Structure 1
């Protein structure tokens, strides 16, 4: 974890309001030190190199949920039902990141429905968080590549707003424009279950991108919204890659050849995405990017997927989207287990864990990733690419 950013003044979520009167109060998880720190055992020279890379390069997470969860896992659904998740300003101030795509816990913002992904719920998730963001000046909303560079120059952290799927637009194409107007710059096609655009990865059959889905992809291309296929079925993913006029991304997944579960992507999809200029961001949500070499999910497991993808499509098409938050991630999985029809992460050799050692929250993820890359002999040039250079190159084309 990096030292606190010098211009972070200690603002906490919704400090402009009075808890208990203006909104419901919850005891929140610790943002710092909730689990033991990961030990990379870097030499002084390696640590100096990590520090220099953070100072010199754009460090960009393709997928995070930069919020604080309730300390009590049983309160996650009531907390999310308020729509007012708390941005983890303290933890993010120590992340060392230049920018990150925040996916707002949107599908878990079950304000009007227990099943999520409703239009009103998405507006709650987006509106509350961005209103709070506007009351401080450390984390700032970015809607362009120029905004990201400007935030870095000012010592600020750029937040890019994203949703993991487009289910909430229903059959209303113009809702994409509305979300763009509200600041959204990244959106997935389907979140595990099939919607009007295409099939999700938990379905037994995949009908591919629908006619409406093709129109939605075209509209996102017209507006300049980054398209994500992380939770889409394989055929829907391939159709989206083929139909989009600009590169798309797998913002948070891994390689099915390394760990054979539906949540991972097959070589065909990863390769097709890269061949059209896109890239894959490596996932680290608990019990996903495991490997036969490291069946207990840790940083090393995730980096097995990284190494495989680099060998498969080249260093220019790989990045990181850890998909983490501050608090008990497994409690979220338990709270929403019944929302999806199929356990997409099951594997007979799976050794369940409570957190991913080394990639437990957005505040520490990239310090440890960078340390691992340094320790394993990657060049400064290649590290700069996978930490952020590859993402910025693609966003230049998409936005």
Structure 2
């Protein structure tokens, strides 16, 4: 039996959860939405898809939620929108891909505040991060030279998220702000798609103290597959597993998972990089921005972990059980 067969067998048997994928932010682009079929075919059971980030207007976030919800309702034979752990279990039992939403940053809530948190949670938003690279009224982003920390506005939003069962995420968030979030947390906090800075130094990657603080909350660091953040020139499975092994070695296999950050529309990504220099300060040098590992390579990731000596139970945790544990602790 080959290692790839071992990986394939384990993926078929395990819960596989990719905690962040990027569909185009065009609410009626059904051709791209249909590519979620490839995610399901790869053996992924649960995927979180974005409905907006950073400066994307509130109206566009809501249009994405509405458009994706309508589309998912029409695909009931092979996938379903999930809002709870029970929904995920039902989807998996019937062989359907479980899909939920995420929001990359609290900027859309700068005016509306916490009033939108409960309706978004009911609509299927499973997690929301605090700040996307740049500051908003809730806190600072990871590109800020002066991180002023979590604000009272941010604390109110987080309290409402906790009340309604939405997971708090600190990817893209500034160091002090992220530490404030975790110091005030009474539930697991995650980094949905962030890599360790010790393996590769980049403003989007996170230092050891944030990884440890995340683990202390019971949270999980999701390793992403973007070449620019992996740091090897291209997006290789070997390098991604280097990042997984580092986090596992630092805080244990209970606190690392997958958040591959795969972007379905590469042109849209390049357009954002080129038109938002304040949000992406190193856009001109991000030659590897479209080099990325997609969910179709989850069997390769699994095989590489097994090849390096990871035990089956640890790999099961990394593939999805750790995210499920966090969902059980936070979702209502």
- Normalising to structure 2: TM-score of the pair? 0.91
What is the deviation of 1:335?
3.6
What is the deviation of 1:93?
3.1
Name the CA distance, whole Å, in 2 between partners of 1:279 and 1:265.
13
Instruction: Structure 1 unaligned segments of length 5 or more: list them.
Output: 1-43, 70-79, 108-114
Alignment match, 2:150: 209
What is the deviation of 1:285?
2.2
Please say if residues 7 and 299 of structure 2, whose CA atoms lie closer than 8 Å, have aligned partners that are also in contact: yes
Name the CA distance, whole Å, in 1 between partners of 2:43 and 2:36.
12
Name the CA distance, whole Å, in 2 between partners of 1:143 and 1:209.
27
Instruction: Structure 2 unaligned segments of length 5 or more: list them.
Output: none
State which structure, 1 or 2, has the greater radius of gyration over its C-alpha atoms: 1
Alignment match, 2:297: 365
Alignment match, 2:269: 332
2:176 to 235, 241, 251: 235
Please say if residues 282 and 319 of structure 1, whose CA atoms lie closer than 8 Å, have aligned partners that are also in contact: yes
Q: Secondary structure at the match of 2:19?
A: strand
What is the deviation of 1:238?
0.4
Matches of residues 1-399 of structure 1 in structure 2 within 5 Å? 44-65=1-22, 67=23, 80=25, 82-86=26-30, 87=33, 88-104=35-51, 106-107=52-53, 116-137=55-76, 138-171=78-111, 172-290=113-231, 294-328=232-266, 332-341=269-278, 343=280, 352-353=287-288, 355-356=290-291, 359=293, 361-362=294-295, 364-399=296-331
Name the CA distance, whole Å, in 1 between partners of 2:18 and 2:82.
14
Q: Secondary structure at the match of 1:150?
A: helix
RMSD (Å) for aligned C-alpha atoms: 2.1
Q: Secondary structure at the match of 2:191?
A: strand
Name the CA distance, whole Å, in 2 between partners of 1:335 and 1:118.
14
What is the deviation of 1:56?
1.9
Alignment match, 1:27: none
Q: Secondary structure at the match of 2:147?
A: coil
- Normalising to structure 1: TM-score of the pair? 0.77
What does the per-residue CA deviation read over 1:260-306, in whole Å, with 9 as the maximum and x for residues that have no partner?
1110001111110101111100011231121xxx3444222222211
Name the CA distance, whole Å, in 2 between partners of 1:207 and 1:185.
27
What is the deviation of 1:342?
5.5
Q: Secondary structure at the match of 1:100?
A: strand
Q: Secondary structure at the match of 2:145?
A: coil
Please say if residues 228 and 249 of structure 1, whose CA atoms lie closer than 8 Å, have aligned partners that are also in contact: yes
Name the CA distance, whole Å, in 1 between partners of 2:325 and 2:99.
17
Q: Secondary structure at the match of 1:48?
A: helix
What is the deviation of 1:256?
1.1
Q: Secondary structure at the match of 2:87?
A: helix
What does the per-residue CA deviation read over 1:113-148, in whole Å, with 9 as the maximum and x for residues that have no partner?
xx8421111011111111011011112111111111
Please say if residues 249 and 273 of structure 1, whose CA atoms lie closer than 8 Å, have aligned partners that are also in contact: yes
Structure 1 runs, 4 residues or longer, greater than 6 Å off: none
Name the CA distance, whole Å, in 2 between partners of 1:346 and 1:268.
27
What is the deviation of 1:153?
0.3
How many residues matched? Answer: 326
Name the CA distance, whole Å, in 1 between partners of 2:323 and 2:37.
25
CA distance 1:345–1:319, shift in 2 (3 Å): farther
Name the CA distance, whole Å, in 1 between partners of 2:234 and 2:73.
40
